[in-house]
Amino acid sequence: MTRVRIKDILKTTPTNQTITVKGWVRTFRNNSFIALNDGSTNNNLQIVVDFTNTPEEILKRITTGAAISATGTLIASQGKGQTVEVKATSVEIIGDSDAEKYPLQPKKHSLEFLREIAHLRFRTNTFGAVFRVRNSLAFAVHKFFNEKGFLYIHTPIISASDAEGAGETFHVTNFDLNNIPKDEAGKVDHKQDFFGKSVNLTVSGQLEGELAAMAFSDIYTFGPTFRAENSNTTRHLAEFWMIEPEMAFYELKDNMDLAEEMLQYIIKHALENNLEDIEFLSQRLEEEEKQKPQNERSELSLLDKLKFCIDNNFERVTYTQAIEILRESNHNKKKKFTYLVDKWGVDLQSEHERYLVEKHFKKPVILTDYPKEIKSFYMRQNDDGKTVAAMDILFPGIGEIVGGSQREERLDKLETRMKEMGIPVEELSWYLDTRRFGTCPHAGFGLGFERLVLFITGMTNIRDVIPFPRTPKNCEF
């Protein structure tokens, strides 16, 4: 008989139909009641076992973590907490689990403990909810761009360029590390390496994405990116996924409009398709918040925060206006910021971004026109000679969630800026060709997918929203 998912069974009206269900045992009470879960939902299905007619050796093997198959009649449940249950006519053990050794006992486990057994944490309610939401968000990203007529481009994971120019890259080589060839100057001889040059894992698909946008007009990438940044924080990963659309014939305003529309679309999709999981995560967050001092608690529940982002148009403010607001704020004057805002040109910190969103405007904010000194070489220079046509989108509780810009389409301006910043013009000749042959205004942005998952699930550590986190000194599995 074909297996039916528990999620579907729980929506079914019982008419004494015979069904087969398979999953993992969460608990087994009184030799009669199995709480079974198959990962399709956080809700368990109760299987009622007739222990008088079930062999004792089978009953002994129905332990927490065991995989079983149960066939029986779907009936209305008399017990609390479920509307239907299965009255089993047969139970088969598919895979045993030693109850004494199984790390996930039926009790509450800390997130720190679960990170240590990340290969099993999928089986918990919290991570079941997180990864079902993550799956839904990834689908929504593709759905949004597909509906817009965008082309999905796979940009390279192994790259010879550092799009951000920060040098925080992982090098790729097939050299024997105990016998690395050197040139006459005593430096690594990359000409003898697999690719004949120095290459690294990509930090961004943007530059290659721009090449495609100059042919297809509207493209997006969605793939893994890597940063060798030695940051052991709750917001940084060495391997993460990036969504990077690039659009020809777009200016800064068009870029902002698209990013706002995309974020609201994805959040709505999650609320419409994963409400049960989000409600569970919202409740979990509420319990967590109760442990914090009053002044550190969030003013909005998770559900309120998500609705806040889809019910409000995003406020658009220039960097210059934002600096003035922050400098004149009581928060700044009373020295409540860790980093005081004293002059134009400073890089805004997460605390400043959150102040603008949560305290001042009370809506998501798009900051534009940043000082060129704190932004990347490829951003279009404004006529004032001081700022670039950049934009960051700020969300409550998290600060920056999207970073983007209109790209510099003028060859002379771009080359001059690259030389000022020490970016090798010759090595990026292929990139500059898009400015030599049929250049046009174009724009794009980057969205760290894990940051989005973090925001929508209400989790507080980025390591808990990616299945297998890669961080300094940590590469399990």
Q: What is the pTM of this model?
A: 0.94
Q: Which helix (H) or strand (E) holds 141?
A: helix 125-147
On the 0-12 / 13-18 / 19+ scale of CB atoms within 10 A, 211 is: middle
pLDDT reported for residue 292: 83
Q: At what angle do helices 275-290 and 125-147 cross, to 10 degrees?
A: 130
Q: Give Cβ neighbours of residue 311 (< 8 Å, ≥ 6 apart).
A: none
Calpha distance 327→333 (Å, rounded)? 7
End-to-end Cα spacing for the chain:
35
Calpha distance 332→351 (Å, rounded)? 11
Are 196 and 190 spatial neighbours (Cβ–Cβ below 8 Å)? yes
Domains by residue range for the chain, with CATH: 6-106 (2.40.50.140), 123-168+203-464 (3.30.930.10)
Cα radius of gyration (the chain): 27
Q: In what order do the strands lie in the sheet with 365-371?
A: 151-152, 218-226, 239-248, 442-448, 399-407, 387-395, 365-371, 315-318
Using alpha carbons, list the distances in angstroms from residue 215 to 99, 208, 258, 298, 440.
59, 12, 20, 46, 11
Read off φ and ψ for residue 402, nearest 5 degrees: -135, 140
pLDDT reported for residue 140: 98
Calpha distance 135→112 (Å, rounded)? 23
- Walk along the chain (477 residues) and give the pLDDT tens digit of each residue: 799 999 999 999 999 999 999 999 999 999 999 999 999 999 999 999 999 999 999 999 999 999 999 999 999 998 788 899 999 999 999 999 999 999 998 889 999 999 999 999 999 999 999 999 999 999 999 999 999 999 999 999 999 887 666 668 999 999 999 999 999 999 999 999 999 999 999 999 999 999 999 999 999 999 999 999 988 888 889 999 999 999 999 999 999 999 999 999 999 999 999 999 999 999 999 998 888 888 777 878 999 999 999 999 999 999 999 999 999 999 999 999 999 999 999 999 999 999 999 999 999 999 999 999 999 999 999 999 999 999 999 999 888 999 999 999 999 999 999 999 998 899 899 999 999 999 999 999 999 999 999 999 999 999 999 999 999 999 988
Instruction: Please report, as a single letter, which amino acid is at residue 181.
Output: P
The two tokens of residue 54 are 């079930």
Are 172 and 193 spatial neighbours (Cβ–Cβ below 8 Å)? no
Give CB contacts under 8 A, 24+ apart, made by 346-354.
Answer: 347/374, 348/319, 348/322, 350/398, 350/399, 350/400, 351/399, 352/322, 352/326, 353/392, 353/394, 353/399, 353/400, 354/394, 354/396, 354/397, 354/398, 354/399
Q: What is the DSSP letter of 384?
A: T
Q: Give Cβ neighbours of residue 356 (< 8 Å, ≥ 6 apart).
A: 317, 322, 325, 326, 365, 367, 394
pLDDT reported for residue 165: 63
